[in-house]
Amino acid sequence: MLRLEKRPQPSRFWVFATPVLAVVLTMVFGGLLFAALGQNPFETIRTIFLDPLFSEFAWFYRPQLLIKGAPLVLIAIGLSFGFRAGIWNIGAEGQYIVGAICGAAVGLAFYPSELFIIFPLMVIAGALGGCLWAMIPGVLRVRFGTNEILVSLMLVYVAEQLLASMALGALRNPDGMGFPGSRNLAQYPAATSWINQQIGMHWGVVTAFIAVILAYVALSRHIFGFNVRLAGQSPRAARFAGVNPSLLVLVCMGLSGGLAGLAGLFEIAGPAGQVSIDFNVGYGFTAIIVAFLGRLHPVGILLAGALMALTYIGGEIAQSNLGLPIAAIQILQGMLLFFLLAVDVLTNYRLSWGRQVA
């Protein structure tokens, strides 16, 4: 009979092979899904994964990789610290929204001033907004032992209602003729995150690369990274080593919330441009896939963020050119996480054939 046997130690081969195999399986079964929808599976997979890089319009799509990938990488880097330590912040989408609201509110409060300090203040407000929103489930876990998964997830829906309230109320454009949504921050020079709109570069892209470098240094060269890894691998050993579990929860939740808030601020001051009811597009949830696809490693997250951004851009092309529904693209992204988790079993277990011993 076929059974799983525990490996003496995790397989280094499968640690690196799992993401690759998960991507291949996603393409195969995604192709079958598209065939069931009446599409040519080979053409659809090519459109999603290759056209943004190698088509005649690739010069236009490639900058979009930076724009789409930056918030995913930034949020996933923050989540990776908590996930490594066994702290499950599933509500990054809410922290992303609140960071965007707080940052935009600061920028709009100074309108139409052109002071150079406005954008730095927006960055600080965005990070603090996301951090404080993430501290709610962190404090509740530390103080009352609540489950941070449920609390952080439920706060996403609260943040979405807060976003709708701001778009229809306090932050609504007074010159917008009653339509929901704030002023366009991308047209307010002192409050925009764009560095060069032609090449798709804004401060969120720069910050994402800096976050990758700092996360790599922190996890591999700093005592904080050691404490995070130790807490995730052996909580009891971490306590004996002097790691304060309550403090670690608060730091990891605050860090992930702050980076998610920054991602929201850069997005609303750049590509999105304004506080609107439909501002959030699920980056906070997609970043969970990016974090695990990148094996919770900063460099892996950078590559996974680029791949996931590719599915966003390719999905938009497929919707436009092939008439593919958006739900099919979301299923494809969900498949990626499903196969990643399924194949990851082989990292710690091996398949073996044999008769069952009585």
**Cis, peptide link before residue 112, omega less than 30° from 0:** yes
Range of the domain at 250: 38-324
The answer to the question of residue 31 being in a domain is no
Q: Is 240 inside any structural domain?
A: yes
pLDDT in tens, the chain (358 residues): 778 888 888 888 998 899 999 999 999 999 999 999 999 999 999 999 998 888 877 777 888 899 999 999 999 999 999 999 999 999 999 999 999 999 999 999 999 899 999 999 999 999 999 999 999 999 999 999 999 999 999 999 999 999 999 999 999 998 888 889 999 988 888 899 998 877 778 999 999 999 999 999 999 999 999 999 999 888 888 888 888 999 999 999 999 999 999 999 999 999 998 999 989 888 999 999 999 999 999 999 999 999 999 999 999 999 988 888 989 988 998 899 899 989 988 888 888 876 655 5
- The domain that holds 110 is classified in CATH as 1.10.3470
Examine residue 21 and state whether it is found in any structural domain, yes or no. Answer: no
> CA-CA distance, 195 to 214, in Å (whole number)?
22
Its pTM stands at: 0.92
Angle at 225 between CA 220 and CA 230, to 5 degrees: 110
The amino acid at 148: E
* Overall domain count for the chain: 1
**Residue 161 burial (10 A CB sphere; 0-12, 13-18, 19+):** exposed
Structural domain includes residue 341: no
Residue 340 lies in a domain: no
Residue 148 maps to a domain:
yes
The answer to the question of residue 4 being in a domain is no
Specify if 25 maps to a domain: no
